Amino acid sequence: MARTFPEKASAFSPGHLLILAFKREATLEVWASDGEAQNYLLLKLFRICASSGEWGPKRRYGDGQVPEGFFEIDQFDPESAFYPSLWVSYRNRSDRVHGSRANPGGDIYVHGNCVTIGCRRSRTTE
């Protein structure tokens, strides 16, 4: 990914990254900004080769759904067997209101290796 920045005439240390995933289109876009300007530059477009569930949001543990909405990347896992591995901040406000209160699920990752397995890895804190 670092090689993409010079190709796009952008510094490698952007102030902000924006990752947009589109279920229906099965694409993931990576955008970057220097943090000072509000202009974002499209760095890379990826094809989503595997996902689980049906159309609609994730509401409970084990439903196989991919969450929908706005999230932050909580953690990168460079040692994952499914590199790159990005841990998503699921649940957002909508998920907390509409999802299962007993067991809403969690440990949501966007990862490589063209598989969808349902992530059950425990969260690490520093």
pLDDT tens figures, 28-80: 898 888 766 678 889 999 998 888 888 888 888 888 888 888 888 888 888 88
The answer to whether residues 90 and 71 touch, using CB atoms and an 8 Å cutoff, is: yes
Asked if 119 is an active-site residue, the reply is yes
Is the whole-model pTM more than 0.75? no
Tell me which of 49, 98, 111, 114 is the catalytic residue. 111
Tell me which of 16, 49, 114, 119 is the catalytic residue. 119
End-to-end CA distance of the chain: 26
> DSSP letters of 41-92?
EEEEEEE-----S-SS---STTS-PPP-S---EEEE-TT-TTSSEEEE----
Residue 21 β-bridge partners = 28
Identify the CA nearest to 45 among candidates 33, 61, 31: 31
Asked if 98 is an active-site residue, the reply is no
Q: Would you place residue 106 in the very low, low, confident or very high pLDDT band (cuts 50, 70, 90)? A: confident
Domain locations along the chain: 1-48, 49-126
